[in-house]
Structures are given as structure tokens and as C-alpha cells.
Structure 1
Amino acid sequence: MLKRLATGDWFTSRTSACGLFSVAYARVSPALKGELRNLFRSLCRDDTPMVRRAAASKLGEFAKVVEQDFLKDELMSMFNDLACDEQDSVRLLAVEACISIASLLNDESTKELIKPVMINLIEDKSWRVRYMVAEKFTDIQSAVGKDIAMAELVPAFTNLLKDNEAEVRAAAAAKVKDFCQALPAAGREKAILTHILPCVKELVSDPNQHVKTALASVVMGLAPTLGNDLTVEHLLPMYLTLLKDDTAEVRLNIISSLDKVNEVIGASQLSQSLLPAIVELAEDGKWRVRLAIVEYMPLLAAQLGQQFFDDKLLPLCMTWLTDHVYAIREAATGILKHLTEKFGADWAQKTVLPKVVALAKDTNYLHRMTCLFCFNTLAEVFGAEKTSKDILPTVLLMSDDNVPNVRFNVAKSLQKVGAVVDAKTLNAEVKPCLAKMCADSEFDVRYYAEEARQALRLG
């Protein structure tokens, strides 16, 4: 059947045959194996590009089942044919085959055979082939071995980073961290400083936003590899530039690597260099950027300490509680719990709670609801005494709010707060309030009040 498909008049049958060779090869006699190799060679040289594409896509699978001697002698010639094909759609599929074959070749002299073909693919005249190479570059790197990687691939990678096509530069930029980390330790730092970083610095101001977006997501991953001093000297200026980029996705991606920066640079450097940019981004016009900054507040708090946080960053956290985007308000209430766990309930009682309680009388009902959400999270870390004294009285007062949405959120909060306070307070203060709310004119308020009563077993 395989022979019939491989020699069929219709190109569709020959295309289908390509995927069957790797399955059939291991199950036939040596004589038939030779015939199958010849058939596959003819498919690699087929007049129809679709057949050659299919052969190129399956060459790697076929190579895995072919004996080592034939791999060097016969499959290498098939690979060479496909890698030099006139159609770029065939050549780009040869990139995958290159990885498979290189990983199967176990002696360095044989790997030298594949090196010139591989370099030709990296420098191919078609940007689509170069793009595929950039996409698969770290796979190529691991397949060819460390010696070839350092000698040949470092210059090739820098060429891809400087490519005329933005898509190629973006694909290469996305591989910067992984490529550098996989370089041999002996010459890694020199290769990064001499060859890679100059190209990366150019990409920071690339005219194409996709290139900068790809770079921003990985560039700070080099920090652990370079260490403290080199990160401050080389990476920090790039980080600050990308933080101020016009494209929101770039700013968002670079913020997401803040933890990697924190691991390497000290608190003083962080406060001097990064903090002004972070404060600016905390008021960014794009809410997703603001959200990313909100989520990194506990990390900054741990790095900078309580006093610095209170002076510089706490006002921002309080501002986010009244942000016009719900996701920001929700995230801000969440980080209050983390900050209280970090700095203690006494700190929150003194610095955070007065500002949260003030929201209970805000004219905007959404802000009053945010006050309740904050109480829900703070009660979990305040404990029974502080919750009874500092949180519960305000929640009880809000049960008479003129907006039903606020009232039913009071019922939800009483369920949370009631689970924290002692039994005496629960029965003396929470129970009467819920009983009153169970008679509210609004169905939703009655529903959540009854739900809270059941949960607290006050029925």
C-alpha cells in the first residue's frame, strides 16, 4: 500500500505516503528498508511542491527510525535537497528536520556536515524561513551542541536580532533569555556582553511595537545570569526605558518581570531608580498596567520595608480603592490582606483602617461597597477583638444604607465578620442586624441576610 501511495499519479496520494514511512520502516526486512529509503528520496525530489513539503515535514520522524549509517549517507543528502529547495515553504519545514537530524548525530565530525546547511537556513533569503529559524533557535542550539552553539550560533543569533523583518526580530527577541542561559558557562558572560546586549539595546527603541513587546517579556530574565553589578549597569537602563514606552503591552510585559529585578538589585537601587517610574505607572491610562502595578505592591513592600512603603506607596494603594475600574478596586482590597499579614494588624489598624472607614460615608455607593470588601479581607487577619472593635460598628451602621446593593453586601460582610467575632458579640450585635435585614423591602437583601443567618447558625 505504501509503495502504491508513494508512486501514485495524484499528488495527494504521494503526500499521504510521507507520513507512513516512519511507521512502516521498522517493521520490514533490510531489502525493503533500502527500497523505502529510495522511495522517500524520490518524494523529497518530487515535481510537486506540496509533496516536497510533506516530505520535509516528515523527514525528522523518518530519521529517528533509520539506522545511523544510512542517516549520515542517505538522509543527509535528502535533507540537503530540501534545505536548498526553490520553494521557501519547503525550506522552512526543513528547519524542523535540521533539529531532528542534528540531535541524532552523535559525533562532532558528522555534526560538521549539518553546520553549513544550518547556517544557510539561518541566512536564508526568505524572511519566512528566517522567522522559522528564530522560532526554533533554542531547539537548534540544544541539538547541535555547545561548541557549535558558541562558535556559530552566537553570530547567527545577533544577525536575527538585527534582521530587516520585524517578525524575525520579534521571534528572536523572544528567545534572548533562553538562548543566553543555554550558552556554555565558560564564555557565556563575554558572549552576552560583547554580542547579544548591543543588539538588545537597539531593540529597546525598535520602531515595531511587537519587537519591543517580545523583548520586554524576557529581557530581565538575564538578570540572574549577569548578576547584580552588570544588571544595574546594562539591564536597568533598558528596563526604565521600556517602563516608559508608548505601547501599553510593552509596559505591561516589563512590569511582569519586576520580581526578577528585585532578586538581583538592592532596595536602595530599587527606590532610587525604579520607584519614580512605578509611581508614574500606578496612574497609567491603561487599567491593565495599573492592575499589574497593584499586584506587585506586596513584593515592593517586602523589598522596601514598612517605613518607606508608608511614605511613598501606601497613598497609591488608598487611591486604587476608589479607581473607576472594578478590577483595580478588587485587586487593591486583596493586597491589603497581604500587606496586613506582612506588617501586622496594628499597622493596618493605625494606617489603613481610618482611610477605609472614611469610604463608608463616601457619596459614591461603589466606594461604600469597596469599604465593605476591604472589611471582608481585613477581618480575616485582624482577629476577633480588633474586628469587633474597629470593623463591626461601621458594618452595622451601613445596614441602613439607601442603596440596596450596599445593604445586601452588608449582609455578605456580616457573614464574614460574624465568623470571626466571639459568640457574645455575634448574638448581641450581628444577629439583631441580620434579623432586621431579613425583613428588608428588597428581595436580594432578604436573600443574603437569610443566607448569612443560616451560615452563622443564627436561625
Structure 2
Amino acid sequence: MADGLLIQDFEVFKGAMLEDNLTLQIDIVKRLQMLAKALGERATREELLPFIEQNIELHDEILFNLSEQLEHFMPLVGGYQHAGVLFDILAKLCATDELLVRERAVETLKIFAAELSDDLLEELLFPVVRRLFNEEWFTSKCSALMLFSTCYPRLGDQKKEELRNRFRTLIQDDSSLVRRAAAFACVDFFHCLEIDYVREEFIPILCDIAQDPLDTVRSITIDVALSLTDKLSEVEMNESVFKIIEQASDDPSWKSRYRLAINIAEIQRKIYYSKYRDRLISVFQKLSQDIEAAVRTVAASSVFNFSQSLRDSYIKQPQFDTTFEIVFEKSVMPVIRRLFTDDADDVRLMLSSNILSLGTILTECCFKKNMIPVLLEALEKEQSMVVQANYLQGLSNISRDVDLKESLDTIKAAIRSVLVKSQTNWRSRRSVLMTFVDLAKFCNSDYFSANFKLYYATLLGDSVCAVRRCACLILPLLAKQYGIKWVAENLIPYYAMFTRDARYLYRYVPLFGISELLNPTLSKENVSYLGGFEKLIEGNGRPSNRLAVVALAKIDKYCHEIDKQLEQDVYKDMLFLRTEVEYSDNDSVPIYFEKSLEEIREKYKDIHTYSIEEIDFDQSRWTYIQGILYLIHQNFLEIVKTLNGDVTENIQIRAIFTLGQIYDFITCLKKELSESWVQQALGQLSEEQLKRIDSEILKKMSIDHEDMDIIDTSLMDHVALPTSILKELPIIDEDVTNQSKITKNQIEVILEKKCPETSLDNMSECDELMENVDKDILN
């Protein structure tokens, strides 16, 4: 080391490593690469690494970080020809007591092995493995076993034989930890072995593992048996693999039976031969009746996967009996019915999370005959709110072809039950919102309006922000199902109501709703807004062709009218401030949905918000673009203007951001309207037709605009109710208009009992009641 500064840095490093300061040592080890680069290759391999090797007795956290750093050291020592000291240090790390350090050191060795030639692997890595498996202490042997499958395929015949012999010795080691590590290693090692050696030398090993006195070793037998299914024939499986499986189903230790239950569907998938079907079904039935609840829970969670694998076995073996649904009704349905009434809540919960997915593999007739009665009984009689919520979530797996109209009242009662019971479980209320999207497949807009609309509005005003945010997320999905016109008439009034809410967090709700309608989170798509119109217009001779042209003309007129609105000073000032204020376009939606957001996106990925269908031209509906423009003109601009004058700065900023989204939407739409194909399409309309369209739009806007400032705050009566009040309300099936009056009167009576001085006319006192009596706001 020629440079004095480097000498000083190296001395600082050595001093820090010898001190008893854990924080300093971890920090300096994380900067080890920088020191090595400064020292150079020679000094690194001759001074730095030898010092580390001599002082390896460090804290486990330091050693773990050291294992990570050494992964990048190969070029810093001058390449593999100078890597001996690196492998020596890693061998010592593989022998430490801490499992995490050993696993990280093994991972680094595997990364090096992937870059080594076969000759260098035999020269550098194999000696490390040999050194480890010849040690007396169990930690070294366990690390060596993790490297067997990495080395074996690339060694010569003599060293391969040495590894095989050593492996058979380790599987019978006195240490149970070594035997367990060897059992785990079998899974990968068997994949590397030649088939002859598997048959002659290693199938007896499987029997040794299955008869091990330690249950944690025996439980791994199932994984090992699965690894052999790809190498053995149908006949060979009977005396080895299948014998092990049947033994595990009767094992006195629940751990072995639990492991079997986890893998039962995969076993059925790999052992698909017809001669084993009935035996595997018997094993599955036995697991579903296991005395240990944990085993039954896993069996319940495997019902769908096992049934799917069972069905696939018929497809793979077409020469055999193909009556899968007969077998399902005879053998699997009894399992479902038994688990359905299990005493353990966890068992029923796991069953509810997957059995409605059977709708994707059963015919409509079979599903309706067997699963719909189970669903309805669960919704009526199940006492666990979480289980009920799971069944409601599972409605998404039911085909549209299955008629649930007769079951809607039962589903409605179950939803109400979940809402009542979910005082401390907001995730269940969030799941109910997703159920509304699924229910829209089975009921018409009139039924939804009469029975589910107020529940939706209730959750829109939920006390938990994640629930309110989810209500906004599904708004575009409901618009695609029932039409944007239905949303404008039935749901937007509730959103507008929240602009007057006394709680500032609730005043975000209308702004979130506007953002979702413009840029849906759950159906993101990089397509043009008018692409659907272009396809329809190209289809000459279709009735929708002319209607699409008329709709385009209306959209063009709406854009011009909105442009005029945006020229008002209040909106121009807001758009100017948009460039001056900082606002992140991140509503923390992934946080609210935790791990489920991507699953929900995948679930609704086929819903294209701005797509056009012929039904959209029906007189009772609007095209999505036309409806959004109408709402912008009639509602949204007024909402953002009102909230821009809010007393809370964050609300003002969000209103400015939302107006910016509206402006961007209109700008992009105007750009598409200027394209040649749009102008050619509009050229098909006569001057008289265009004037009539303009007159119709202007008349509609002027009539509706007169009532823009009137927000029906009485809607709050339906969404600002504590759960304790909800429990006392009967289920009302009358017409919606009558229902509002009846509900309000009943609520007032109940409020008088609970708090005589509080009435619905005094909203501030009602708010206080909500906060003190119950945090969950439900209808």
C-alpha cells in the first residue's frame, strides 16, 4: 500500500473490527467494497481478506453482512485464479452456528459456482464441500448438504460417486439436524441424479427418511416423494412413492399428516394415473376428518386445487373413465359438506375462501346443483362474519350463466349481517364493496337501487378511510355494468353530499370519486378515449354506426361547453396554482388495499372503462365518455370550485389537483376529436342535424344547471348511522322513496331512546353521537 491515506483507512478498519462497537462494525463492513476498491486487488487478497479470515469470530449480524459483501469480491481480488482466500472465508462462515449466516454464505457460494467453469468448480468449490461434510460439527455438514445439488451435475464420475456415498452416510447421521437437512437436500439432489442411481441407491433412502424417529424429519418425506414422481414409472411409484404417501396419512405425528395435506393437490397433479385416483381420494377424505384441526384446515384450503388436479387427471388419461363430475359429487362433495359444518372456525374459513372457485371447473348444471345450496346455507346460518364475507367475495367466481336471482334476498341479508357484525373488522366491510361489483352481474339496476344502493352509500361514509377509498374505486366498475347515466342519477348525489360534510377527511370523497371516474385505478389501459367509436364507425351498415356518429357530435359539443366553463376566472386561477403547489399523485391506494390490490386488478382486468358497446346507445344509457362530460359540466366543476374554497388547505390543494385531471382529460379528448377520422365522421351529419344536436345539449345543460347548487343533505340520514342503531332497524323492502321516510322516523325514535337531546336535525350532535357510540358508520 503506497498511499498513506489508504494505510490510515485500513488501520481504521482493523481498529473498528477489533473494537466492541456493533453499530460501527456493521457500518464499516457494509463499506467493505469501497475499501477493497481503494486498496487494489493485491492488497485486498494479501492483507484485507487474510485479516478478516483471522478475525472471523464476530457478531452474527456482522457475519451476515460480510457474506453479502463477499458476493461482490470476485473482481476485487483479481478473478477466480486468486479466489482461494474468498472460498476459505466462506467455508468458515458456512460453519457458524447462526442459520441465517450459513444460508447467506451458501447462497454466495452458489452465485460463484454459476460463473465457474466445470474445472474451476472442481478445483475451488468441491474442496470446500468436502471440507464441510468431513467436519464433526453439525453446522458444517448441513451447509455441505445445501451445496450437493450445485456441485454434483458438473463433477467427474469419481467425485460424483464420493458425493453419493457421503450423502447416504449423512442421511443416517447421529444428529437429527443433519438428517433433517439431508432430507431437505434430497428434493434438489434427486433431480440431479441419474435415474439408475435413483432406483438402485436412493429409493431405500426414502424409506429411511419415512421411518426416522424424529417427526420433523419424517414430515419431509412427502416433499422427497414428490421429487421422485418425475423419475419413476407408474408401476415403480406403487412400492415407493405411493406407499410413503399412505403411511404418512396414518402417521402418529400430526406434522407428517399436515405436510401431506399441504401437498395433496400437487400429489394428485403429478400422480394422475387412473389406478391411483380412488386411493388418493381416500387419503384426501381421511385428511378432511383428521383429529387435528390444523390438518383439516389445510385440507379445506386444498379443496379447489385437489378438485382441479382430479379433473385434469381425466384429461391426461382420456382412455379411462371421464366422468369427473360424477366422481366429484360422490367423493368430494361429502368432504365439502363435512368441512362446511366443522366446529373449528379456521376450517370453515379456509373452505369458504376457495370452494366457490369450483365454478371455473364445474359445468353450470353441476355447480348449481351442488354448490349453490352450500352457498345459500352458509349465508343464512354461518355465525362467523369473516366466513360470511369470504363467501360473498367468492361470488366473483360464479358464472353469469348461473341464475342467482332467487338467491339475491339471501345475499342481501348476509351483506347486512356482515355490516352489522364488522364493527372491529373494516376489511370485511371493504370486501362487501367488491361484492357489489360481482352482484351487478346477477341483478338489474332497479334491484340494485332498491336493495344495495343505500349499503353502498353507507360504506362511502365509513369511518375507515380505506373503506371509503374502496367505494370510490368501484365506481367506474358499477358505471360499466349499469351505465354512467345510472351512476349520475343514483350515486353521484351521495358524492356531492360530502362536499358539505363537517369532517374534513370526508370532503375528500367526492374528489376521489371524480379522479376514479376519469382515471380508473382498477382498469388502467393505454388506449384512446375514442378508439371504440372508431371501430364502430368503420363497421358500415350496422345500426350503431349512425348512433356512434351522433354520440361523437354530442361529445364535441360538450367539450366546447366545458371549454367555456374553464375560461371562468375561478378555474383559470386554480389551473395557474396547479403549477405552483406541490401535490403527489399518490392516494396511498396500495397501502389501503395491502397485498390485495394486484389481485383485484387482475380480477377486473377485462373491464375496459372507455370501451363502447352497442347497449351504450340505448335511450336509458349514455356512452361512458358522454356521461363523464355531462358530469364534468353539471357536477364536477362545481364540486372542485366549492372545495377549492374549503377552510382546510389540503382539501384546497386536492381540488386544484382534481381540476388539473379534468383539464388534462378534456385536452386529450379535444386532441382526439381533431383527428381526421372524427372530422370525416361528423361530416356525415347535415347542418340541420348538428344544430338540432347543439340545441338538445344546450337545453339539457341549462335545465339541469338550474338545480346545481341544491345538494340533498337529507341523504346524510342514510349514511351517518352508528352500528348500534343499524342493529335495531328492521330490513325494509318497500319502495326506495317510501323507505327514506320510514327509515328516518325509525331512526329518530331510536335516537330519542339513546340520547334524548340529539336529533337528526342537529347534525353536529349526531356526529358526536356517531363518534362516541360507535366508530363504524353503517346503514
TM-score where L is the length of structure 2: 0.50
Please say if residues 385 and 421 of structure 2, whose CA atoms lie closer than 8 Å, have aligned partners that are also in contact: no
1:281 matched to 2:408? The reply is no
Distance 1:16 1:390, change over 3 A: closer
Q: Aligned-pair distance for 1:328? A: 1.9
1:214 matched to 2:350? The reply is yes
Instruction: Note the alpha carbon deviations across 1:3-56, whole angstroms, 9 max, x for none.
Output: 665454444444444344444544555566555434332322223222222222
- Residue in 2 that maps onto 1:68: 195
Please say if residues 325 and 366 of structure 2, whose CA atoms lie closer than 8 Å, have aligned partners that are also in contact: no
Q: Aligned-pair distance for 1:306? A: 1.9
- Residue in 1 that maps onto 2:305: 178
Amino acid at match of 2:486: W
Q: How far apart in 1 are the matches of 2:488 and 2:148?
A: 72
1:344-383 pair list within 5 angstroms: 344-377=483-516, 382-383=627-628
Q: How many residue pairs end up in the alignment?
A: 422
Amino acid at match of 1:268: K
Q: How far apart in 1 are the matches of 2:177 and 2:517?
A: 64
Q: How far apart in 2 are the matches of 1:52 and 1:418?
A: 68
Q: Aligned-pair distance for 1:215? A: 1.4
Q: How far apart in 2 are the matches of 1:360 and 1:11?
A: 68
Please say if residues 166 and 211 of structure 1, whose CA atoms lie closer than 8 Å, have aligned partners that are also in contact: yes
- Residue in 2 that maps onto 1:53: 180
Computing the radius of gyration from Cα coordinates, the structure with the larger value is 2
Deviates more, 1:341-350 or 1:395-404: 395-404
Please say if residues 304 and 357 of structure 2, whose CA atoms lie closer than 8 Å, have aligned partners that are also in contact: yes
Distance 1:401 1:56, change over 3 A: closer
Instruction: Note the alpha carbon deviations across 1:74-129, whole angstroms, 9 max, x for none.
Output: 21111111111111121112221111112211x22211221222211222111011
Q: How far apart in 1 are the matches of 2:629 and 2:357?
A: 44
1:79 matched to 2:220? The reply is no
User: Which of 289, 292, 295 is residue 434 of structure 2 equivalent to?
Assistant: 295
Distance 1:9 1:421, change over 3 A: closer
Please say if residues 384 and 420 of structure 1, whose CA atoms lie closer than 8 Å, have aligned partners that are also in contact: no
- Residue in 2 that maps onto 1:257: 394
Instruction: Note the alpha carbon deviations across 1:165-222, whole angstroms, 9 max, x for none.
Output: 1111111211111111111332432332222221221222322222222212111122
Amino acid at match of 2:259: M
Amino acid at match of 1:211: V
SS at match of 1:182: helix
- Residue in 2 that maps onto 1:143: 270
Q: How far apart in 1 are the matches of 2:153 and 2:639?
A: 77
Q: How far apart in 2 are the matches of 1:303 and 1:407?
A: 40
Deviates more, 1:212-221 or 1:237-246: 237-246
Q: Aligned-pair distance for 1:287? A: 1.8
- Residue in 2 that maps onto 1:108: 234
User: Which of 327, 334, 350 is residue 198 of structure 1 equivalent to?
Assistant: 334
Deviates more, 1:93-102 or 1:204-213: 204-213
Distance 1:95 1:353, change over 3 A: closer
Deviates more, 1:354-363 or 1:160-169: 354-363
Q: How far apart in 1 are the matches of 2:644 and 2:166?
A: 82
Q: Aligned-pair distance for 1:135? A: 1.3
Instruction: Note the alpha carbon deviations across 1:313-347, whole angstroms, 9 max, x for none.
Output: 22222222222222222222233333234433433
Please say if residues 383 and 421 of structure 1, whose CA atoms lie closer than 8 Å, have aligned partners that are also in contact: no
Amino acid at match of 1:169: R
1:159 matched to 2:286? The reply is yes
1:231 matched to 2:231? The reply is no
- Residue in 1 that maps onto 2:562: none
Q: How far apart in 2 are the matches of 1:36 and 1:386?
A: 74
- Residue in 2 that maps onto 1:315: 454
User: Which of 305, 319, 327 is residue 444 of structure 2 equivalent to?
Assistant: 305
User: Higher helix proportion, which one?
Assistant: 1
SS at match of 2:429: helix
Please say if residues 376 and 407 of structure 2, whose CA atoms lie closer than 8 Å, have aligned partners that are also in contact: no
SS at match of 1:296: helix
Distance 1:15 1:225, change over 3 A: same
Distance 1:264 1:152, change over 3 A: farther
Q: How far apart in 1 are the matches of 2:150 and 2:495?
A: 68
Unaligned stretches of 5+ in structure 2? Answer: 1-126, 315-321, 520-624, 671-779
